[in-house]
Amino acid sequence: MKTSLFLWCLVLATPALGAPLANQDAVLQVLKTIDYRQHNSGDYKSLAYLEQKEKDKTDIAREALIYRRDEDEKLMILFTKPKGEAGKGYIRLDKNLWSYDPGTGKWDRRTERERIAGTDSRRADFDQSKLAEEYDATSKGEGKLGQFDVWELELKVKPNTDVAFPVVKLWVDQASGNVLKRQEFALSGRLMRTLYYPRWQKLYSESKKAEVWYPGEIRIYDEVEKENSTIVVLKSVDLRPLEANIFTKAWLEAKSR
Amino acid sequence: MLRLLLQVSLRNLFRSRINLLIGAIIFFYTLLLVVGGAMLDSLLGSMSRSIVGTVSGHIQLYSVTSRDPMSIWPTMGNEPDLSPMQDYQRVEGAISKLPNVKAVVPMGINGSLITSGNTVDLTLAELRGVVREEKENGKTAELEAERQSLKEHVRQIVRVLHTDLGRATEMETTEARDPEALAAVERASSDAFWQGFDEDPYGALEFLENKVAPQLPDGDLVPLRYVGTDLDGFAKSFDRMEIVDGQAVPPGRRGMLLSKFIYEQYLKLKTARRMDLIKEAVDTGALISTDPELQRYVHQNAQQTREILLQLDPLKSEQAVRALRASLGRSDGTLPELLSAFFAVTDDNFQARYAFFYKELAPLLQLYRLRVGDVLTITAFTRSGYTKSLNIPVWGTFRFKGLEKSPLAGNISLMDIMSFRELYGYLGADTSAEIQALKQEAGAQAVDRTHAEEELFGSGRKVVAEATPGLIDDKKAFPGTAANLRRKDLQQRVFDHAEISRGVVLNAAVILKDPSKLKQTLREVRELSDREHLGIYAVSWQDASGILGQLVMLARLVLYVAAFIIFVVAMVIINNAMMMATLRRTAEVGTMRAIGAQRPFVLTMVLSETLTLGVVFGAAGALLGAGIVGWVGAKGIRATADIMYFFFSGPRLYPHLSISNVIAAMGIVLVVSVVSTLYPAFLAARVPPVRAMQTDE
């Protein structure tokens, strides 16, 4: 889905930051701002570190390359470390999420609820933000998160939209417009995950002609298995163009050959 | 005097109604004990044969460092957390030397859910494999033929989908259908798309996989529980196991033997499976017209013909239409209509249609999602926490004789122990070091969830930072793997017995030469483990079988409690009856005392009368009980539910009577008789001679 530059300028021009959310339009603008700031018009590549902690188990660490082409809604995650995990990956093509294992050479279709590589993370944690497109939001007032003044929003999934969790609560920093905390709920109302975003970073994008924001660190706490948690650190982001045919199964298969 | 007492006892045996009442109680009590005891013993014997003969063996060994006790059928369904044995090779060597040990079989049990994917996903994956093979190794006539066949199959699937969507569009509003999905199916149905397929096969495949395949329902998840073992040793030690399809895994090769039960239940074409279930039921006397479950199968078969339609290309469709029209005596009708009509079977035509299905339609279909010789991909969570997937060739299917229909015995498949170890995946020293290095480099500190907000957003924290543009070198980050070479190497490599014994073994089954010496051998194994520091627990099949072992204990407990309750009730009734009888005989006893009978004589007389009652009526009860057990034993009790096959160790339970059942029953009956007569006998002995004269007055 291509959004015109005009619309993005409109979003940017919205005087939302630092002010109370007076109406539904202002709430929507907050979401659009969050989405826009993380969107890149060109390609995106990052080197991510994932650490999974589980009760009575040794910590599991992984490194992965994350490739995105937001304009075509494409995403690929390619695990690179440790050696036993290297070559495993995920590709999102349209509404399909595929998982690949070079050990078997086979592709498996996965759902939005897939725990990426068995961690508490989901596909959407690594992909472009599409909050305004996927959810309807309402303001739940203002509050404090640590020392930060935040807007509290409640999001409900739009009809016929496939997301991992249908209800989401956001705590958005009034000063920077970044999401600092996110809670996700099942349809039954049960809290499933709590996420914290303690560090947001930005880079200038030549293709976008604006800054691209990304969470430098995500702390994910499993609310069902309370002992489980995941840390995601985006160690580096590279906005140079990627190979044209990178988002194909054949490319990922070839990487493991 | 003994003779006199016997004469008196026999004379009095049928003299009073009360004696007959007591006799009847003894008769039925003995009958119940003999029949109940024989039934329970037979049932327990059958269950033990099922448990011992499938996986457990007579004794199970596992490491003393395990977190959970060994449980082959865990109560909550979760596999027990067992640690590998420290040195299995030494354990095997030591235990094998014990005189009563016939064999020691290494094992490990785990489970996984395998996703079978929908029909089009599976076919497209096969087509992708052929395209890849052609790109890598060059085209051959064989690959060309396979590619064309698979393309035809995909085209057929698209045709069915196109027809479905056309029908749905006629019935629904246009808004209800996703226009993008409709356009994708239109494109995939066009001749132009297929003519251009070979020019860009990967592009065409990705289009089909991502735009067309999601429009079909997802495939099923198949639960797969497997025992990793020395397959050769297993087959020799567990002689109830027999190969049904394919062949045994050759010694030293990797592979899997799927349980025939799982193969039929989950991997067979659903329509064919339902036809089989109807056939089984009808052959045992059930009627479609009266059995709601059979009617449901018939209804589902008549309604759910799509899976068959997806499999039939135009040529096969034509053959099927011809055959179906001939069978149904019709001259028209489309394939979906004919299939629906054909599967709407009744009691009158079922047998003929069942035979026709397997003779005419089945050869046109792929009856199983996975064929013998195919490769099965299993993904499991390893002990290191990472997931591990493995391609394992399926060499055949197997079953345990007599337990073909048992879900408990049938939910276990067999795998070579080398593949099991890979799926089990311990964290090696090199991987541990690699993980430590990764953690150190990332420098992410753990934050406790209770203080997370304070630590992450407290005073002095900044949440926004400029980033330095990173230049990520993909090739350096991931130089590639030789995964496909390794895959081929694993399939071809042959391993020897030493490799089987050297690696990770979670538990082991010990097969005994003489199972009756189980307790003694168990003691010897434990002593040996202590003496030689083997670090193993040894438990009997009953303790190792988890929920089933508890069932055996429960069954015993129920019989003992029931016997005790009946024991008490019988004792009270006999006691009361004897009291009444004694009171009625006051004059007689008084007279006997008056003519010189001493108290011990009277006491012994009453007791011997009851003992005679017990022996005579007890023997009659035991005789009838033996007759009933013999009759039922000759006929057998039919297993009416699948679960009962395991308890009966086959389709029928054949109860048998052992002499111990009769001795135990007679012993209990005589004890009950004597104990309940003690007090009345004591009262009788205290009757003074004067009482006889008083009564006369």
Three-state SS string across B109-173, please? EEEEEEECCCHHHHHHHHHHHHHHHHHHHCCCHHHHHHHHHHHHHHHHHHHHHHHHHHHHHHHCC
State whether B464 and A65 contact (CB < 8 Å). Answer: no
Q: How many CB pairs under 8 A join A and B?
A: 213
Per-residue pLDDT tens for B110-128?
988 887 667 888 889 989 9
Q: What is the mean pLDDT of residues A126-136?
A: 94
Chain A residues in contact with B465 (beta carbon < 8 A): 199-201, 216
Per-residue pLDDT tens for B239-268?
889 999 999 999 989 999 999 999 999 999
Chain A residues in contact with B432 (beta carbon < 8 A): 58
A172 contacts: CB under 8 Å, gap ≥ 6: A30, A34, A150, A151, A152, A153, A178, A179, A180
Q: A101, A120, A180, A224: which to substitute to probe chain B, counting the most B Cβ within 10 Å?
A: A101
Residue B6 pLDDT exceeds 70: yes
State whether B115 and A108 contact (CB < 8 Å). Answer: yes
Half-sphere CA count of B366, side-chain side, radius 13 A:
17
Residue B697 pLDDT exceeds 50: no
Q: A104, A204, A218: which to substitute to probe chain B, counting the most B Cβ within 10 Å?
A: A104
Of B389, B431, B452, the CB nearest to A104: B389
Residue A10 pLDDT exceeds 80: no
Half-sphere CA count of A91, side-chain side, radius 13 A:
21
Amino acid found at A150: V
Q: Which of A130-134, B78-82, B84-88 bottoms out in mean pLDDT, i.e. has the lowest?
A: B78-82
Amino acid found at B278: I
pLDDT on residue B661: 85
Chain B residues in contact with A235 (beta carbon < 8 A): 442, 470
State whether B469 and A59 contact (CB < 8 Å). Answer: no
pLDDT on residue A15: 43
Buried b (16+ CB within 10 A) or exposed e, A200-219: bbbbebeebebebbbbbbbb
Residue B348 pLDDT exceeds 50: yes
Q: What is the mean pLDDT of residues B594-613?
A: 81
How many Cβ atoms sit within 10 Å of the Cβ of residue B95? 24
Per-residue pLDDT tens for B8-40?
777 776 677 777 888 888 899 889 889 988 988
Nearest CA in chain A to B211: A94
Instruction: Report how far residue B419's alpha carbon sits from residue B416's, in angstroms, rounded to the nearest whole number.
Output: 6
Distance of alpha carbon B683 from its chain centroid, rounded?
A: 60
Of A53, A82, A146, the CB nearest to B453: A146
Pairing of strands B221-229, B412-416: parallel
Pairing of strands B507-512, A96-101: unpaired
Nearest CA in chain A to B114: A108
Higher-confidence residue: A9 or B233? B233
ipTM for the complex? 0.87
pLDDT on residue A2: 44
Task: Give CA separation, B130 vs B127, B155, B156, B228, B601, in Å.
Answer: 5, 16, 18, 31, 100
Distance from CA of A255 to the nearest CA of B (A): 5
Distance from CA of B546 to the nearest CA of A (A): 24
Of B214, B434, B446, the CB nearest to A83: B434
B160 contacts: CB under 8 Å, gap ≥ 6: B306, B309, B310
Per-residue pLDDT tens for A235-249?
999 999 998 889 999
Q: Which of A79-93, B306-320, B681-695 bottoms out in mean pLDDT, i.e. has the lowest?
A: B681-695
Residue A12 pLDDT exceeds 70: no
Per-residue pLDDT tens for B525-537?
999 999 999 999 9
Q: What is the mean pLDDT of residues B260-280?
A: 94
For the record, the structure tokens of B153 come out as 């199959």
Instruction: Report how far residue A232's alpha carbon sits from residue A49's, in angstroms, rounded to the nearest whole number.
Output: 6
A60 touches chain B (CB under 8 A): yes
Per-residue pLDDT tens for B322-346?
999 999 999 888 999 999 999 999 9
Instruction: Report how far residue B171's alpha carbon sits from residue A221's, in angstroms, rounded to the nearest whole number.
Output: 47
A26 contacts: CB under 8 Å, gap ≥ 6: A14, A16, A19, A139
Q: What is the DSSP letter of B362?
A: G
Please, which pLDDT band fits residue B99 given cuts at 50, 70 and 90?
Answer: very high
Residue A231 pLDDT exceeds 90: yes
Which among B58-67, B432-441, B686-695 has the top mean pLDDT?
A: B58-67
* Cα torsion B447, B453, B456, B460: sign: negative
State whether B210 and A250 contact (CB < 8 Å). Answer: no
pLDDT on residue A163: 92
Chain A residues in contact with B115 (beta carbon < 8 A): 108-109
Angle ∠(B180,A132,A26) on CA atoms, nearest 5: 145
Distance of alpha carbon B69 from its chain centroid, rounded?
A: 20
Higher-confidence residue: A12 or B361? B361
pLDDT on residue B483: 62
Q: What is the mean pLDDT of residues B282-300?
A: 94
Residue B134 pLDDT exceeds 80: yes
Buried b (16+ CB within 10 A) or exposed e, B355-384: ebbeebbeebbebbbbebeebbbbbbebbb
Residue A118 pLDDT exceeds 70: yes
**Shortest CA distance to A96 belongs to which of A117, A67, A80, A75?**
A75
pTM of the predicted structure, to 2 decimals: 0.78
| Domains of chain A listed by start with CATH number | 15-41+127-226 (2.50.20.10), 43-124+241-255 (2.50.20.10)
**Shortest CA distance to B59 belongs to which of B397, B538, B468?**
B538
Of B213, B457, B477, the CB nearest to A65: B477
Q: In the block, which residue shows the tokens 């991997």?
A: B267
Residue B573 pLDDT exceeds 80: yes
Residue B485 pLDDT exceeds 70: no
Task: Give CA separation, B102 vs A247, B347, B515, B541, in Å.
Answer: 58, 52, 10, 15
Instruction: Report how far residue B595's alpha carbon sits from residue B137's, in angstroms, rounded to the nearest whole number.
Output: 116
Residue B473 pLDDT exceeds 60: yes
Residue B696 pLDDT exceeds 50: no
A17 touches chain B (CB under 8 A): no
**Shortest CA distance to B206 belongs to which of A251, A78, A103?**
A251
Pairing of strands B256-259, B59-63: unpaired
State whether A145 and B453 contact (CB < 8 Å). Answer: yes
Query: What are residue B259's DSSP bridge partners?
Result: B398
Q: What is the mean pLDDT of residues B543-567?
A: 82
pLDDT on residue A43: 93
Chain B residues in contact with A176 (beta carbon < 8 A): 463-464
State whether A52 and B387 contact (CB < 8 Å). Answer: no
Distance from CA of B115 to the nearest CA of A (A): 8
A189 contacts: CB under 8 Å, gap ≥ 6: A167
Q: B83, B386, B463: which to substitute to probe chain A, counting the most A Cβ within 10 Å?
A: B463
Instruction: Report how far residue A92's alpha carbon sits from residue A111's, in angstroms, rounded to the nearest whole number.
Output: 10
φ, ψ for residue B544 (rounded to 5)? -85, -15
pLDDT on residue B168: 67
pLDDT on residue B581: 79
Instruction: Report how far residue B228's alpha carbon sits from residue B635's, in angstroms, rounded to the nearest whole number.
Output: 39
Distance from CA of A109 to the nearest CA of B (A): 8
For the record, the structure tokens of B642 come out as 């699948």
pLDDT on residue A13: 46
Domain ranges (residues) in chain B: 2-50+549-696, 119-215
Of B128, B457, B466, the CB nearest to A198: B457
pLDDT on residue B188: 94
A221 touches chain B (CB under 8 A): yes
Which among B129-143, B206-220, B416-430 has the top mean pLDDT?
A: B129-143
Nearest CA in chain B to A61: B435
Nearest CA in chain A to B450: A221
Q: In the block, which residue shows the tokens 């109560």?
A: B75
Residue A228 pLDDT exceeds 50: yes
Instruction: Report how far residue B505's alpha carbon sits from residue B380's, in angstroms, rounded to the nearest whole number.
Output: 17
pLDDT on residue B291: 94
Distance from CA of A82 to the nearest CA of B (A): 6
pLDDT on residue B486: 65
Is A85:A79 a contact under the CB 8 Å cutoff?
yes
Nearest CA in chain A to B217: A109
Residue A7 pLDDT exceeds 50: no
Report the percent of chain B where pLDDT is more than 70: 94
Instruction: Report how far residue B38's alpha carbon sits from residue B655's, in angstroms, rounded to the nearest whole number.
Output: 6
Higher-confidence residue: B508 or B672? B508
Q: Which of B477-486, B496-505, B575-584 bottoms out in mean pLDDT, i.e. has the lowest?
A: B477-486
Give the A window 143-202 contacts with B, CB below 8 Å.
145-148, 173, 176, 178, 180-181, 194, 196-202
Angle ∠(B75,B77,B78) on CA atoms, nearest 5: 110
Q: What is the mean pLDDT of residues B562-590?
A: 82
Distance from CA of B204 to the nearest CA of A (A): 12
**Shortest CA distance to B681 belongs to which of B594, B548, B583?**
B583
Furthest C-alpha separation in chain A: 56
Instruction: Report how far residue B532's alpha carbon sits from residue B524's, in angstroms, rounded to the nearest whole number.
Output: 12
Distance from CA of B293 to the nearest CA of A (A): 33
Q: Which of B171-185, B188-202, B234-248, B439-453 bottoms out in mean pLDDT, i.e. has the lowest?
A: B171-185
pLDDT on residue B94: 95
pLDDT on residue B527: 95
Of B389, B478, B486, the CB nearest to A78: B478
pLDDT on residue B668: 87
Distance from CA of A3 to the nearest CA of B (A): 19
Higher-confidence residue: B537 or B424? B537
Q: A106, A119, A211: which to substitute to probe chain B, counting the most B Cβ within 10 Å?
A: A106
Q: What is the mean pLDDT of residues B649-662?
A: 88
Distance from CA of B464 to the nearest CA of A (A): 5
Instruction: Report how far residue B505's alpha carbon sits from residue B90's, in angstroms, rounded to the nearest whole number.
Output: 12
Per-residue pLDDT tens for B613-651?
888 889 999 999 999 999 999 988 988 887 888 888 888
φ, ψ for residue B277 (rounded to 5)? -65, -40
For the record, the structure tokens of A149 come out as 């003044």
Please, which pLDDT band fits residue A190 given cuts at 50, 70 and 90?
Answer: very high
